[in-house]
Each structure stands twice: as structure tokens, then as C-alpha cells.
Amino acid sequence: MEKLTSIEKYNLEEYELETAQKQDLKQLLKVCLENMDNVDEVSITNAFKLCYMSHQGIKRASGEPYYYHPVEVAKIVANEINIDDISVIAALLHDTVEDTDVTLEDIEYWFGKQVAVIIDGVTKITGVFKSRDSKQAETFMKLLLSMAEDIRVILIKFADRLHNMRTIQHLRREKQIQIASETMELYAPLAHRFGLFNIKNELEDLCFKAIDPTSFKFVARKLREKKEAREEFIDEFMMPVGRQLRQQHFNFEIKGRPKHIYSIYRKMQRQQKPFEEIYDLFAIRIILEDPHTKEDCWRVYSIITDWYTPIPERFRDFISVPKTNGYQSLHTTVITNRGKKVEVQIRTRRMDDIAEKGLAAHWKYKEGEQAGSASLDRFVNWVRDVLDNPRPDSSTDFVKDFQLNLYQDEIYVFTPTGELKTLPKYATPIDFAFEIHSEIGERAMAAKVNGKMAPLREKLKNGDQVEIITGNKINLNPDWIDDVVTHKAKSRIRQFIKQKQRKISEEGREIWIKRAERGKVEISDQELTKIAKRFKYETTQGMYYDIGIGALDPNVLFKEVKKYKSTGRLEDDPSETTSKTEEQIQESYFNAARSIGDGNALILNGEVTNVKYSYANCCNPIPGDNVIGFISRNGDIKIHRSMCNNAQHLLKTESDRIVDVQWAKNIDNKFLGAVKVIGEDRVGMINDLTDVLSKSLSTNMKSINVSSDEGMFEGIITLYVDGISHLNKIMKRLEKVAGVKNVLRYE
């Protein structure tokens, strides 16, 4: 019997949905109609039917029918990105080509070429992610390549990842951490660059919740506790301003949004301050409804500053000079009569749409079918520019550079003719030169900043006018690699360094060949590679390079080659030793991984399941902390706190070596912890602190370091604790010491 095609198998026109699915479809169409001007209800209905029928019988990790996932992704696309109905259709069908018998040809037949192209792009990205051999960096590059073809590919991928993060609790913990880390490093920065701030913020919070649930719950609880007081303050703050705005016939909305949880936590860590001392926990946003214009935003700013004193250095005008991702708003921080600092953002409804939904929102405002958004075009051109530039040999370097550009705050500088250029914060004249043109960057000799000669490595500031003085020859300096911040500059300097290294290696090779000819010795490349490893070189190129710079005497190499040619072997043959060591390492590595078992946590209490472990000195985890483990090359496990910077780096670079670890219920060991104490510098303060620790709490100290300035002191106390509850008890007790203002855990 001949096999039915998908078109014959799935008769979309005549298929009747069941009651539950009809309800799901009704909800989706409602979201679409509320958020988009033009909705092809027939095509969305048919796409829903195909999604449901083709995924029948398939379950997610949560046990839910699989079709729930693409339907939720489509709702995110409609509600939070809301570009067009084509994106909604593609979102409904984004998994069909990969996971079912539906083909791209079927999709094109039913829904047109545009939908098929988008689904093809999403499928290619998904295929890369599922490949166990691919590293995150390589995945990221392919992601960008797909994105550059049709921006809707990456927007659907954002929605797909957001729903996966919302349901991540159904996966094993080590898988949660792996996916959360990838999301934090790749998706969140890219969402930031697109201006999808709502999605970026939610992704970061969900990642934070997966990686360090204890800290997440702490900040979330603190925000809930302060919610009522926060709302009362906003009402009180806005009362006189709102009255005056209404008197002047402004049509406006006021929002008092708390900062998202992860950003508050990062601020606490960066400033080493407790939650109570972070003043900008929320921002008041004033949104002017149509037909108000940007001139009206300035009028509102004038009214606010009539009532409250502005802090000049905290003023930002993103209306006159929008961010690269199209973001526009006036930002100011003012001080109330009670001395409280408040951040206020002023924008129009259109500006707010773009701020919330990024460049995707430009689609709502474009004039006619063919007219594209200038900001959208600039962004896509920026991506293509990055992809067209020479890539570093290391994919990880590519991602590192790219992320740097994604997350950096921006500065605005001018060419000598007054043309505005946007660069990442901390950019130098070298970055500026490459931004103008690659040849100018390569031939840069000196710079003038605001009419005065300045070093090429000097950090530029907002408003600087920069002129680059060039020579006739390439003047690249390898040392610039640590000073530049843009991908374009870094990639070209890396390329130059590699070229220089290759040239030196070639010179070293010529020196060796002449020495070998003079001594009348012939040796094959394979044999010479063995001898290179005898000298601890991975390849002969590294050995030639050291000969070229004079770090390896060719006569020493010649003696080793002569010895090898006469005996036919090397003493302690490094190739055999290396091979054996690698086998031992791999065997130990996989034994360690196997001993932990698929999805079973390693309980930290002695040498469980024959796996040795140790605690990372960088973050000093203690019982009660959220922790993760990394399998070292020799099979040992290194335990880190989940949010430790080094752990985050390892998650980026070697996520396949992550393991889930949990604390045992009863642990007798003592652990190293540290607290930071801030207070009044008075006589006897140190004695009072040490008395509390030694007498009241019977806690042993390892060290105490104190500094004082203008009547205040700051002390770092390192001590031995049983776990997180013991440390919290110590902190609460120290807070009661007379003159102590703050006590917090020290990192």
C-alpha cells in the first residue's frame, strides 16, 4: 500500500478539534486579535490543527501533551513580541519539520514560502543545539547566521527558549543548570541587544532561579515584603506631579516597576551592600499617550524638577540620541524632601512599546509594506558586519567579544566632521578607528581627542570628538588586544598576532632546516612531532616559534634528534607517556561521571561512590549554599557555589562536565566563611566583635582585617562555620553590636 503524504494524511479543512483544543485555539486567537492589527484567523486555525495532529501522542518532560509547548510559544510571539501573524503560524509549527513527518514542502504548500523559510531557520538552529558535539560558541555563530536571513527566526527562538525556561523545573538539576547557563550567556545578551527588555529580564530571573534558588527566593521575598510601602511611596511621590500634569491636559499612565530580581542581586554583589541599602530598587515610569510627542517629555521633565531636586550626573537623554537598539527615554534621578532618591523615566507610548518589545515593535510603526525600520536595518547590518569580519581561531573568543558588545553600556562620540558614532563604554581611539574603517584602524599612529593629542589606549567619554592620525604602513600593536573592546578591533588584532606568530614559526623552521642540513641529519615530520612532545610542545609549530624567538637552541634539538636517529627511541618516550596519561584521564573522567549516575546527586559527606571532591577556594561553599560540581581531568569533583564567577565561566566553556551535587543532612566538618562588617570606628569595637564570636557563639576565627576612614570602619572577618544557618546566626548577632551599621556575607 502506498504511503500517504502529509498533505493527504492531515486534512486540515475537514478536521474537527476536540473541546479542550478548541478552547486553546480560542485563547490563542484572542491574544492575536488583542495585539496585532491584521490576523489571518483561518491560517492560524489550520496551523493549530496541524500542530495538534502532528504532535499527537508525544509528551513533554512535565507529562503534558507536546502541542502545549508550540501553542505557548505562539502566545509569547503574539503577546510579548507581536510582529505579525506569519510569526505566530511559524511558532505553532516550529517543531513539526524536525519532530514529525511534516516536511518543509508541506509547510510551503499550506502556508506559503515565508513561513517555510522561517521554520527552516528555526529547525537548523534547534538541530545545532541538540548536537552533543557542538560547543556553545559555535552554536551562537550559527544562530547569528540564521538570524541575519530573517529576523523572525531569532524572535521565535527567543519565545521558544522563554517557554522552556518557564517549565525548566521538570528537568534534572544538572540539565537545568546547563540550559540556564547557556541562556544567561547567549540568549539574554542578544535579547538585550534587540531591546527585548521584558524577555531579557525574565530570562535572567528564570536562569537565576534555576542556578541559585536560595538567593532568588531571598530577593523575591524582600521585594514582596516592601511592596505595600513601595506603592504608598509612589502614590505620595506622584500626587503633586500628577495633579499638575492633569491641569496641563496631559494624557498619561504611571508605572512603578521594581527592578528585576537578578539585577538587584547583582547590584548587591557588586556594591557589597545588603538589600535594604540598594536605593534604586524600582523606577517610576511616566508614559504619555498619543498624540503626545518627545517635546512633551521635556515639559513633563520640567514639571518633575519643579517639585523635586534632580541629580545632574544621573540625567540621561536617550530621546535626542537613542541607543543602538532603538531605545528612547528621558532618565533622571531626583531627591525627595525626605532625602530619598528616585529614578524617573519619561517616554511616549511608542517609545515604551519599543523599550518593552524592542526592535520588533518597529514593525507596528513602519509606513507601508515595503518600508523597513531604520533601527531594525541598523541592527541587522551590525550583525552582518560582525559576521563578515575575520573570526578569531577560538569560537569562545568570538562569543566573549560579541557578548562584550551586546551587554556594554554605550557612549556617543563624534568624528571631526560632527558625525555621531556609537561605541561600547570603555572604547578607545583604536576602537573608534576600526569603527570608521578597518584600514584606518590598521594604520592608526596617534589620536586627537577634543583637539588635543591623546594616547591611542585612552578610554573615550561621552561627547568626545575624535580624530585619527594615520601613517602609510600597517601599525598594529599586539599589546592593543587588552585595550580594545569592539569585536571588529579585537578580531583584526588577533589575526595580526597569528600572522606574526606564523611568520616567526616559519623563520624558526628555516633555522632548524639549516642546522639539520649542516649536521647531515634527515628526519620525517612525524618523527619530529614525537621529539617536539619530548620538549613539551603540542605541535612542531610551537617548537619552531620558540626557535624563532630564541627560546629554544636549535643545537639542543639537534642533539635530541641525533640520539633518536641512533637508538630509534626516546628516553621516557613522551608520545607513549602522553597517550597513557590521556587514557587514564579519560577513564578516570568517565568513571567519575558513571559513579555519580544519571540524574543522581552526589551527596557531599566523604568519598561517596569512589569519587574524590574538594571545595573551590574562590567561593568557599558552605552547607546550605546552592552548589554545583565540575569533573576535573583526573576525575575529581570541584564544588563551587552556583553563582560563583568561576563557576559561571566553567559553565560557559565546559558545561558538559557539570554534575549535580547536594549536601548531606549531617556534616561534622567546619567550613570557611567570611562576613563584612561596617560601622562606627570607636574604641573597643574590635574587642566587642571578637567577644561575640568567641564567647557568645563559640566560633573560631581565621583572620580579621580592618580599615577605617573618617570615623567609619570596615572589617572582613574570616571564620569557621557549620553551614549557612550558622553563618546567618553570626551575622544577626554581629548586627546587634553597638555601632555596627551593616553585616553581610563577604565574597
Catalytic residue numbers read: 98-99
Spatial contact of 433 and 444, defined as CB atoms under 8 Å apart: yes
Name the DSSP letter for residue 468. Answer: E
Spatial contact of 492 and 438, defined as CB atoms under 8 Å apart: yes
Task: Report, in this order, helix, strand and coil percent for the chain, each rounded to 5.
Answer: 55, 15, 30
Rounded to an integer, what distance in angstroms lies between the CA atom of residue 701 and that of residue 679?
A: 19
Strand partners, 704: 717
| Segments in 408-484 forming alpha helices (H) | 429-436, 438-442
* Side-chain-facing half-sphere of 721: CA atoms under 13 Å: 24
Can you read off the three cell numbers belonging to residue 735?
Answer: 548586627
Is the four-CA dihedral 58, 64, 68, 70 of positive or negative sign? negative
Can you read off the three cell numbers belonging to residue 76?
Answer: 509569547
Rounded to an integer, what distance in angstroms lies between the CA atom of residue 343 and that of residue 234?
A: 11
Q: What are phi and psi of 138, to 5 degrees?
A: -65, -40
Strand partners, 742: 678
Rounded to an integer, what distance in angstroms lies between the CA atom of residue 157 and that of residue 191?
A: 11
In the block, which residue shows the cell 527562538? 157
Closest among 652, 644, 493 to 140, alpha carbons compared:
652
Closest among 234, 241, 275 to 256, alpha carbons compared:
234
Rounded to an integer, what distance in angstroms lies between the CA atom of residue 64 and that of residue 169?
A: 13
Q: What are phi and psi of 378, to 5 degrees?
A: -60, -40
In the block, which residue shows the cell 566538618? 669
Closest among 705, 692, 701 to 735, alpha carbons compared:
692
Rounded to an integer, what distance in angstroms lies between the CA atom of residue 453 and that of residue 267?
A: 37
SS3 431: helix
Can you read off the three cell numbers belonging to residue 91?
Answer: 511558532
Rounded to an integer, what distance in angstroms lies between the CA atom of residue 546 and that of residue 254?
A: 66
Closest among 508, 600, 526 to 564, alpha carbons compared:
526
Q: Say how many C-beta atoms besides its own lie within 10 A of residue 53's C-beta.
A: 20
Show Cβ contacts of residue 368 under 8 Å, excluding neighbours closer than 6 positions: none
Q: Say how many C-beta atoms besides its own lie within 10 A of residue 643's C-beta.
A: 22
